[in-house]
Amino acid sequence: MAAAPGRRLPAALLCAALCLGAALAVDRSNFKTCEQSGFCRRQRGLSPGQSPYRALLESLQLGPDAARIQLINEATKVPLLLELWGLQGNMTRIRIKELNPLRPRFEVPDVLVAEPPVERLAVTGRDEGSLELSLGPAGHRLLVTEKPFRMDLLQGRELLCSVNARGLLFFEHLRQRRDSDTPREPTAEEGAAAEGQDEAAGGAEEAGDQSEKPTETTAEAAEEPGSWEETFKTHTDTKPNGPTSVGLDFSLPGFEHVYGIPEHAESLRLRTTEGGDPYRLYNLDVFQYELYNPMALYGSVPLLLAHSARRTLGIFWLNAAETWVDISSNTAGKTLFGKLLDYMQGGGETPQTDVRWMSESGIIDVFLLLGPAPAAVMGQYAALTGTQALPPLFALGYHQSRWNYNDEEDVAAVEKGFEEHAVPCDVLWLDIEHADGKRYFTWDPSKFPRPRAMLEQLAAKKRKMVSIVDPHIKVDSGYRVHAELRSRGFYVKTKDGSDYEGWCWPGSAAYPDFTNPEMRAWWASMFAYDQYEGSTETLFTWNDMNEPSVFSGPEVTMHKDAVHYGGWEHRDVHNLYGLYVQMATAEGQIQRSGGQHRPFVLSRAFFAGSQRYGAVWTGDNTAEWEHLKISIPMCLSFGLAGLAFCGADVGGFFKNPDAELLVRWYQAGALQPFFRAHAHMDTARREPWLFGEDNVALIRGAVRLRYALLPFWYTAFYHSHRHGLPIMRPLWMEYPEDTTTFAIDDQYLIDRALLVHPVTEQGARGVQVYLPGKGEVWYDTVSYQKHHAPQMLYVPVTMSSGPMFQRGGTVVPRQERVRRSTECMQGDPFTLYVALSPQGTAEGDLFLDDGKSFDYETKARFLHRQFTFAGNTLTARYPPPP
């Protein structure tokens, strides 16, 4: 939840929470534009086509795993080290860093699941001013041009991607401040890291350092104001390391459609940013976010996908600092070097998209995911950052939340309401008011005096609970959690070495340093039953405000010059913070069960790799039709970035939905991977039975459909866990050559078998549904009417209906005996819905296990059956190994 009006806070805290006022609208003045972000302004000020960088091709060192070439900035004479890898699985890695930095630069840890296996490189061509490398058996070649430095990646005669073709490589090297004779000394940890970097660069230097040493130049002397200190509103960011930003451009010939880089409240297909701000990736607590805006939101995944009818590719920019992404669209026809024209297919004018990445600090570390099919790109990204964690089965049921259920009696009454009105529900949630004075890992002694008994009563009804545990810790010497964090030195520090403090919900709060592995281990230990008093195995966790949110900080977050473990500044690690919170929390739930049970953790902030630890949602939305509509492309974008377990607050967090909007939101939410209703404390109560019998019947129908489809959902999650594919996927993923699908984001596929088009327009009497697939058929899941594809179909709707079609040639498992919760349905019979292809065949599968443990993985205790219908006969067998 964001800082919000109407929250019962002290006057000082209300002011510290940015005096947001009564209007429900984002205050844009609290958040930077590119022009107000010094490094973004500097980078955008560069003119294309004037690159100062030259590749010293004679410095090439070709090892068994990588090629290393020095680059020189001919204006500053600062040498860089270019490292190139051809990776197994059709990927290429490009890394650029300083050859001899004054101190180490941050390189993102803990995101890659392992160092990716490499292909053997070879030099396949040389001439004056260029070098060609073979990147492996897939036929990819990299042409490196000396001056101006540029790289072109080809497969056969096809140019896939050009790097620095526009000459926008930008690398602000570490330097001494001109008004200081003594540079900051590196910490011990930085010194150790520097030794590792020196070793990596050593080979290139041994091959002959052809560069000159850094010198004072007119270009450096003319550093603009803000390079070493920058002020935004009342906050000043000191920059002890000076300007350290990096940037690089990529040209994608043949591509007009690009997607990804969540989180933005944006259409699925990304717009060009010419004439406006770039898309920003910087995890922020944005109150009442606007739609169709490139402003940063709660999470960041620096993965962009490009798709055409011929192929799909991805760019994964591994940098955790504040990042801006510019997108421009051109017609190709650009002059290429003569040797490139030989590779081009026919020359001529083709569409082209140019993408430019700009990050405040760190190094350039980028992976090119070369597909060529959409599923292959998803698999390549999953091989790097991991797949969606397989959640416990209950987490796929319906979740009921509110800020806040008042006390144990309120919880009991809400649970009883679901029972009395026959609406299935698996989980009840408690927000920040459940804790004792917002001291997390505690319970309010007057409102929740018997938490264990409350949890046991829910468990007797086969239901669970989620409580919130946020990463801002109340500064109170009598609070055990705070006292131990302080005594162990586990808090983030200020630039002066004291514990960093800011304002958040408890008042004055300190922030655990989740980048510290020892701190994460301690945090995980706090979920043990003897540490988190009153908790049981049926209590799970919600991590909110973990951007981190600091009401009194710049842009409602932590100061960039705060210091983390290893001496790294917050500016280096900012977008990793939320991932580390969710990681430590998930590990705590696993440890408390002795490693037996799978965790459930919902996180608001995220980064690449967060999918390994749980679920995410779209944040503090609003009870408006446009917010219902935007939840679809937002979750589709999340899925394309690996975050398959996504949903939006059903009904909208802010404001009060009318009955029609609420019913339509339940119908849409029931068909998204994470299904939770949630609401602001100042909204009217909106449990499903409070809107009259007609509407509760409609909501009951939507929730019961969700539960009937649980076997299909669970199997889809298993597919995602094994192969990295999104569960909720855009049509073009399954129909990559159908250009009609490329911009569709109001309908989608669940796995590959069900096509849904939620009703998101007020008063709708019908919707237009596109049925893709030449020669395929689709079946209405209510009337079973068959429709031939491809076609645009007008589907009449009533308040009880929303278009859903099953793809011909698929088998969808269901459980028609719907009960109060998922646990109650285990052991119930299954019904297979067989939708025949025009050839009279169908295929599908079903995955089952105990729904809670890791036994499916560690002990192979699961049932996985492949169903095939052919020749009027249905057969079941073990599926072939992947």
Name the active-site residue from 249, 444, 513, 544: 544
Pairwise CA distance, residues 427 & 652, whole Å = 18
The length of the chain in residues reads: 882
CB 289 within 8 A of CB 280: no
The confidence score (pLDDT) of residue 447 equals 98
- Contacts of residues 146-155 at CB distance under 8 Å and 24 or more positions apart, as own/partner, are 146/54, 146/55, 146/56, 146/57, 147/54, 147/55, 148/51, 148/52, 148/53, 148/54, 149/51, 149/53, 149/54, 149/55, 149/71, 150/51, 151/94, 152/336, 152/340, 153/92, 153/368, 153/370, 154/343, 155/370
Residue 62 DSSP label: E
Query: Residue 180: which pLDDT band, with cuts at 50, 70 and 90?
Result: low
**Per-residue pLDDT reduced to its tens digit, 184-193:** 444 444 444 4
The confidence score (pLDDT) of residue 334 equals 40
Q: Nearest-5° angle of CA 613, CA 616, CA 620?
A: 150
Pairwise CA distance, residues 270 & 305, whole Å = 10
Pairing between β-strand 786-788 and β-strand 754-756 as defined by DSSP bridges: unpaired
What does the block give as tokens for 362? 């760190």
Q: Which of 331-345, 469-483, 502-516, 846-860 has the lowest mean pLDDT?
A: 331-345
Torsion of CA 514, 515, 518, 524, to 10 degrees: 40
Higher-confidence residue of 880 and 601: namely 601
The confidence score (pLDDT) of residue 215 equals 43
The confidence score (pLDDT) of residue 330 equals 80
Pairing between β-strand 777-780 and β-strand 804-807 as defined by DSSP bridges: antiparallel
Q: Which residues contact 448 (CB under 8 A, 6 or more apart)?
A: 407, 408, 430, 434, 454, 534
Residue 348 DSSP label: S
What does the block give as tokens for 741? 């699908």
Mean pLDDT along residues 554-561: 98
Residue 855 known to be catalytic: no
CB 395 within 8 A of CB 123: no
Q: Indicate the average pLDDT of the chain.
A: 92
Beta-carbon count within 10 A of 566 CB: 19
Give the architecture-level CATH label for domain 394-469+520-549+570-723: Alpha-Beta Barrel (3.20)
Mean pLDDT along residues 402-407: 98
CB 278 within 8 A of CB 358: yes
CB 98 within 8 A of CB 115: no
Mean pLDDT along residues 652-665: 98
What does the block give as tokens for 120? 């053997």
Give residue 202's Cα distance to chain centre.
36
Mean pLDDT along residues 764-780: 98
Is the pLDDT confidence value at 213 over 80? no
Pairwise CA distance, residues 726 & 642, whole Å = 7
Query: Residue 65: which pLDDT band, with cuts at 50, 70 and 90?
Result: confident
Is the pLDDT confidence value at 331 over 90? no
Query: By three-state DSSP, how is residue 630 classified?
Result: helix
CB 714 within 8 A of CB 631: no
**Per-residue pLDDT reduced to its tens digit, 84-112:** 999 999 999 999 999 999 999 999 999 99
The confidence score (pLDDT) of residue 64 equals 83
The confidence score (pLDDT) of residue 722 equals 97
Is the pLDDT confidence value at 6 over 50? no
Residue 850 known to be catalytic: no
Is the pLDDT confidence value at 351 over 50? yes
H helical segments located in 645-789? 659-669, 693-708, 710-723, 731-734
Query: By three-state DSSP, how is residue 839 classified?
Result: coil
The confidence score (pLDDT) of residue 124 equals 95
The confidence score (pLDDT) of residue 484 equals 98
Provide the residue ranges of all domains of the chain, joining segments of one domain with +.
40-178+238-385, 394-469+520-549+570-723
Q: Which of 223-227, 498-502, 815-819 has the lowest mean pLDDT?
A: 223-227
Is the pLDDT confidence value at 218 over 90? no
Pairwise CA distance, residues 390 & 215, whole Å = 54
Of 578, 565, 584, the C-alpha closest to 106 is 565
Q: Percent of the chain, pLDDT > 70? A: 90
What does the block give as tokens for 771? 């049925």
Pairwise CA distance, residues 306 & 328, whole Å = 13
Of 571, 574, 553, 607, the C-alpha closest to 172 is 571
**Per-residue pLDDT reduced to its tens digit, 493-537:** 999 999 999 999 999 999 999 999 999 999 999 999 999 999 999
Residue 611 DSSP label: G
What DSSP assignment string belongs to 722-747? HH---SEE-HHHH-TT-GGGTT--S-
Pairwise CA distance, residues 76 & 98, whole Å = 13
Query: Residue 24: which pLDDT band, with cuts at 50, 70 and 90?
Result: low
CATH number, domain 40-178+238-385 = 2.60.40.1760
Q: Which of 13-22, 311-320, 342-351, 441-450 has the lowest mean pLDDT?
A: 13-22
**Per-residue pLDDT reduced to its tens digit, 701-736:** 999 999 999 999 999 999 999 999 999 999 999 999
Residue 628 DSSP label: H
The confidence score (pLDDT) of residue 619 equals 98
The confidence score (pLDDT) of residue 7 equals 38
The confidence score (pLDDT) of residue 22 equals 38
Pairwise CA distance, residues 321 & 444, whole Å = 38
Of 451, 364, 365, the C-alpha closest to 407 is 451
CB 55 within 8 A of CB 146: yes
Name the active-site residue from 620, 738, 745, 746: 620
Pairwise CA distance, residues 472 & 546, whole Å = 8
Pairwise CA distance, residues 232 & 227, whole Å = 13
CB 851 within 8 A of CB 834: no
Query: Residue 590: which pLDDT band, with cuts at 50, 70 and 90?
Result: very high
Same fold, 40-178+238-385 and 394-469+520-549+570-723: no
